[in-house]
Amino acid sequence: MDIDGERKIDLGGIKKRWVRNYILAIVVFIVVIEMIFVFTFKNYNYDLIQQNLDNRAKITANFYENYLDDDKSNIYVLAPKIMKDYNYDKYAELQILDLNGNIISSSSGFQIEKKLNTDDFIEAREGLITSRVGKSIVNSEKVMVIASPIRINNGQILGVLRYITSLESLDNYINSGILLSVVIFALIIVLLFILSLVFARSILNPIKEINDVSNEMAKGQLNLSIKKQYDDEIGQLAETINYMAREIKKGQDLKNEFISSISHELRTPLTSIKGWGETILVDDFEDKKVSRKGLEIIIRESTRLSKMVEELLDFSKLESNRLILNKEETDLNHEIIDIINLFKPRALKEKIDLTYGINGERSNLLLDRNRFRQIIINLLDNGVKFTGEDKKIHLDVTYKKGKVIITVSDNGIGIPEDHLDKIKEKFYKFDNKKSGSGIGLAICDEIIKMHGGSMTINSKLNVGTNIIVELPTI
């Protein structure tokens, strides 16, 4: 949402979506877990009861199958003995039935006249141990039944054993467990909901602060900063925005300083050109010495203006990645000697002791000759500006394996140590009294990098400066 040019983030919407989606996912997960728990819990307890009754039925059936003879093959004779041997269990009722479904005896004491024709009885009469869950024929309560055939040792089936247990108490126990699990899961959902709100707030509050401060920064309030609340990605984002604001402010300060400096630099030669132009015009060329001096100043100041304009154009091309190098194989020694010869008249005029030396086995380089000349002349020009009373500038070329090291040294005023790491920055001038735009070294550094090289500046205050350029050889 954009209101009055200000970017707004709907943090409330993010919070709602976060909580809604988070809780929905948790609820679905818990419902699935609850269903699995209910199914597993119920089946586990039912299986436990069934296994218990099944074991009882097997043990009883196997005992009488192994120890009964043919002369005792009467279920009505056997039933009292089985019932006598049965350890009374209030949780399980034992019934003994003949093959017609008549209940001969029951541990419950109830006499049931009705014949049974249930599935478990029919399958047990056919020789299978079977179970079922259903309604009791006495009171219709939910029960589990295990039915097993009673055999003698020749395999003849005399009757059927039925173990019956009520499931009402077990179902109540299972329902209580399910209810408890539902309550626990509901509490978990509530707790997770609260935690999700806290978590959402811990994320969205810093984001809101970042958004608010960023909007103020966008309006130009670059002195503001975002408080880092957490040492995480959001904290890193806050630090990044603070760093960005500091860099923008720094850039603005440099830009303003540059505008002020360049305005002054432009005003000085323009004033000289205008003043001497008017002087020559008024003098009407009668005094040739004055006219010549004025024309020399006009030419010199025009040259300064031209250089500043060229630097600004180069800077613009570098900033927009439009500066293209035309590299070709170059004899570096020839270029150095040519530049020295070109610069000597100025050195003589400025009373500067300009020397040079070339060491090592010569190697050619891939260079943009015009840009290379621009670099060396700029470095020599800086040496002229900042050299001391005993004016000395030395250019040294040393060839090493795979590279050439070009060093321009002067015995000038030097650069303060706290300015060395900034001296190559755009628009930076540590001495505003000196002429120049403050982008010469920055342009040189970028062009050297485009050649695959590097530039290092070493300096001591009131001792001198060494500018070292390293370039790869062919």
Residue 244 is predicted with a pLDDT of 86
Adjacent-strand bridge partners of 465: 410, 459
Residue 285 is predicted with a pLDDT of 59
Determine how β-strand 353-359 pairs with β-strand 392-400.
parallel
First-to-last C-alpha distance (Å) of the chain: 57
Domains of the chain in start order, with CATH, are 1-219 (3.30.450.20), 233-319 (1.10.287.130), 328-472 (3.30.565.10)
User: Looking up tokens 């975002």, which residue turns up?
Assistant: 226
Residue 428 is predicted with a pLDDT of 65
Q: Cβ contacts of residue 103 below 8 Å, gap of 6+?
A: 95, 96, 97, 111, 112, 116
Residue 2 is predicted with a pLDDT of 47
CA distance 233 to 228: 10
CA distance 233 to 226: 14
Residue 396 is predicted with a pLDDT of 95
CA distance 380 to 391: 12
Residues, the chain: 474
Residue 20 is predicted with a pLDDT of 76
Residue 451 is predicted with a pLDDT of 92
φ, ψ (nearest 5 deg) of residue 135:
-95, 145
Residue 90 is predicted with a pLDDT of 64
- Residue 28 burial by Cβ neighbours in a 10 Å radius (0-12, 13-18, 19+): exposed
Residue 4 is predicted with a pLDDT of 46
Three-class SS of the chain? CEECCEECCCHHHHHHHHHHHHHHHHHHHHHHHHHHHHHHHHHHHHHHHHHHHHHHHHHHHHHHHHHCCHHHCCHHHHHHHHHHHCCCECCEEEEEECCCCCEEEECCCCCCCCCCCCHHHHHHHCCCCEEEEEECCCCCCEEEEEEEEEECCCCCEEEEEEEEEECHHHHHHHHHHHHHHHHHHHHHHHHHHHHHHHHHHHHHHHHHHHHHHHHHHHCCCCCCCCCCCCCCHHHHHHHHHHHHHHHHHHHHHHHHHHHHHHHHHHHHHHHHHHHHHHHHHHHCCCCHHHHHHHHHHHHHHHHHHHHHHHHHHHHHHHHCCCCCCCCEEECHHHHHHHHHHHHHHHHHHCCCEEEEEEECCCCCEEECHHHHHHHHHHHHHHHHHHCCCCCEEEEEEEEECCEEEEEEEECCCCCCHHHCCCCCCCCCCCCCCCCCCCCHHHHHHHHHHHCCCEEEEEEECCCEEEEEEEEECC
pLDDT along the chain (474 residues), means of 10: 48 68 83 88 86 82 66 73 71 86 81 79 88 80 88 80 86 88 88 82 80 82 78 81 84 74 73 80 69 82 80 76 87 92 88 91 89 91 80 93 93 84 72 60 90 92 91 90
CA distance 42 to 174: 6
C-alpha count within 13 angstroms, C-beta hemisphere, residue 438: 24
Tokens of 235: 């904290």
φ, ψ (nearest 5 deg) of residue 100:
-90, -5
Q: In Å, what is the CA distance from 424 to each residue of 34, 48, 252, 435?
A: 68, 84, 17, 16
Determine how β-strand 403-410 pairs with β-strand 328-330.
unpaired
Tokens of 169: 């108490």
343 neighbors 474 (Cβ within 8 angstroms): no
C-alpha count within 13 angstroms, C-beta hemisphere, residue 309: 8
